[in-house]
Structure 1
């Protein structure tokens, strides 16, 4: 048996390798598309849960002074930032003299 391949044999080998690569690429692309769809579904579910938790939190606080403010478009409960801590006027944070 000769250690070299003929032109036709090389063509068939490379054609077979190209077909295998394309099949694997198509499978990977389909997997990525499936996972992207699942991520979008999970994101919608989490936003819904955030909204439910926010509504439940407001329900628990009923009777206290609670102001409802509209959320920004596309924003859920996770996008709000809460401020806490001491707020002072002026530029100095040290004791006044």
Structure 2
């Protein structure tokens, strides 16, 4: 094997390498777009979960201010809300 390359061989080598680099670059660009799309979907899911957690937290906080007490026999919720009875 010769250690020297002719002009035509060098042209073919460099042209082939350029095509390879361009093909890899196009694949990288496509994969980068796919990852960015997945990131947008993940952010939407996280936002939805955050909203659900916030709503649940509000519900729990409201629940702290409510005391559940057993009603006397024959009592109604209305009498309990007014604070009558033991």
TM-score using structure 2 length: 0.69
Which has the larger Rg? 2
Choose between structure 1 and 2 for higher RCO, CA contacts under 8 A separated by at least 6 residues.
1
Say what the alpha-carbon RMSD is for the aligned residues: 1.5
State how far apart, in whole Å, the 2-side matches of 1:60 and 1:38 are: 33
Q: Return 5+ residue gaps in structure 2 as ranges.
A: 66-86
Question: Which structure has the highest helix share of the two?
Answer: 2
Q: How does 1:18-33 map to 2 (within 5 A)?
A: 18-33=18-33
TM-score using structure 1 length: 0.62
State how far apart, in whole Å, the 1-side matches of 2:50 and 2:6 are: 65
Q: Which runs of 4+ in 1 moved over 6 A?
A: none
May I ask how many residue pairs the two structures share in their alignment? 65
